[in-house]
Amino acid sequence: MRVLRAGPTSYGLWAALVQALALAALLACFSAGVASARALKLVVLGDSLTAGLGVPPGKAFPDQLQAALRAKGLDVSVVNAGVSGDTAEDGLTRYGWSVPPETDALIVELGANDMLRGFPPDMTKKTLAAILDKAKAAKTPILLAGMKAAPNLGPEYGRAFESIYPELAKSYGAILYPFFLEGVAGDPKLDQPDGLHPTTAGVGVIVQRILPSVEELLGRVSH
């Protein structure tokens, strides 16, 4: 019986095949690594305080927050989904296109205009809860930025309005930043002439104060 033996040519072909398979596996791993290393997408759903009313282009809260995160080595793209004048209901209405499915984390900064218009706190709370429901359904980590009521609305209204944020944060397991304008509100050096909106420097103060909470938020993103 004649026994077939593999010659040098056969071994050469086999070695080439093994090398090709190994290269293909390496490229697959590299591609997967690139895909997983994409920048995280953080959306800020808010009103004029997010939109950047009265500050130069590129100096709004989302812009300065993105710069601060990247300075710390975090590859995060912060999306400005703020619209001046928006109430919580307005934010809910445009949620579908403002917070796309690929959103990794969400900051909700809404309710100030509800308060300024004297809306019943229960109504604002219900609307914000509907926004949080949508984020929770998408398993999107949430940071809820709180707001304080203007003193002229009275202590009863103030207590009811300001309790919205901690109660919702507790109910939804969201990270609470109690007062978005902490360290800025009432400071003429950091406020614009209207006394409501921060200057560029004021936005910078907000970013530095909220940064640890945002880092905690990003830590909740599933990789």
Q: Catalogue the active-site residues.
A: 48, 194, 197
**Residue 216: count of CB within 10 angstroms of its CB:** 13
User: 174, 144 in Cβ contact below 8 A?
Assistant: yes
What does the alpha-carbon distance between residue 184 and residue 192 come to, in Å, rounded to a whole number?
A: 10
CA angle 78, 136, 61 (to 5 degrees): 20
Q: 220: exposed, middle or buried (C-beta count within 10 Å: 0-12, 13-18, 19+)?
A: middle
How far apart are the C-alpha atoms of 181 and 95, rounded to whole Å? Answer: 23
Q: What's the CA angle centered on 90, arms 82 and 81, to 5 degrees?
A: 20
User: How far is Cα 142 from Cα 221, in angstroms, rounded to an integer?
Assistant: 10
Phi, psi of 38 (to 5 degrees): -65, 160
C-alpha–C-alpha distance, residues 49 and 171, integer Å: 25
> Tell me, what DSSP letter sits at residue 141?
-
